[in-house]
């Protein structure tokens, strides 16, 4: 199911050049499919979730953010968003927009959509403890008394 259109990117981001328009058309289904698979990993269905208008708006915002970030990543030069130089002792530093290039989805964006699997771990405080938790707390060497 196609959730987002190029018009959404233009409306929420900015007008696009013809090259960016073509890239955005190609990127949107890739980003949507990636999010769909992330949802499947934790047993959720984006088709069902997107029936909620509020969820759909958040989904639209996340997809547009990812597409915009990818569009801002230069394809013909270093994709830096910040660069600084110094003189005499010469120093240069920069911050990359997209580490490693390509499409990437931030953990916060997955959290926003409820697609981050929360890891839970616990052990019994009173009574029997899980052997692994006991080993972690007491160490695996139990020769002391």
Q: pLDDT, tens digit, for every residue of 28-59?
A: 999 999 999 999 999 999 999 999 999 999 99
1 found inside a domain: no
pLDDT exceeds 90 at position 17: yes
Domain that residue 131 falls in? 6-138
- Residue 102 covered by a domain: yes
Residue 73 · residue 98 · CB < 8 Å:
yes
Average pLDDT rounded to a whole number, residues 12-25: 95
* Strand (E) or helix (H) holding 65: helix 53-72
Any domain includes 143: no
In a domain, 90, yes or no: yes
Measured CA to CA, the distance from residue 63 to residue 85 in angstroms comes to 34
Assess if residue 53 is contained within a domain.
Answer: yes
| Structural domain total, the chain | 1
Q: Is there a domain that residue 145 lies in?
A: no
For 58-94, how does the pLDDT look when each residue is reduced to its tens digit (9 = 90+)?
999 999 999 998 888 766 655 566 667 887 788 887 7
Rounded Cα distance between 74 and 95, Å, is 13
Q: What is the pLDDT of residues 95-121, one digit of tens each?
A: 665 555 578 889 999 999 999 866 565
């Amino acid at each position: 199911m196609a959730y987002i259109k190029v018009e959404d990117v233009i409306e929420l981001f900015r007008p696009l050049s013809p090259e960016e328009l073509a890239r955005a058309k190609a990127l949107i289904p890739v980003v949507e499919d990636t999010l769909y698979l992330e949802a499947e990993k934790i047993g959720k269905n984006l088709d069902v979730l997107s029936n909620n208008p509020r969820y759909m708006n958040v989904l639209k915002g996340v997809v547009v953010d990812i597409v915009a970030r990818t569009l801002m990543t230069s394809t013909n030069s270093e994709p830096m968003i910040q660069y600084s130089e110094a003189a005499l002792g010469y120093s240069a530093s920069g911050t990359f927009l997209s580490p490693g290039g390509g499409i990437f989805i931030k953990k916060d964006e997955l959290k926003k959509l409820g697609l981050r699997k929360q890891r839970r771990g616990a052990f019994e405080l009173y009574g029997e403890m899980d052997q692994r938790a006991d080993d972690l707390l007491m160490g695996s060497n139990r020769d002391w008394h």
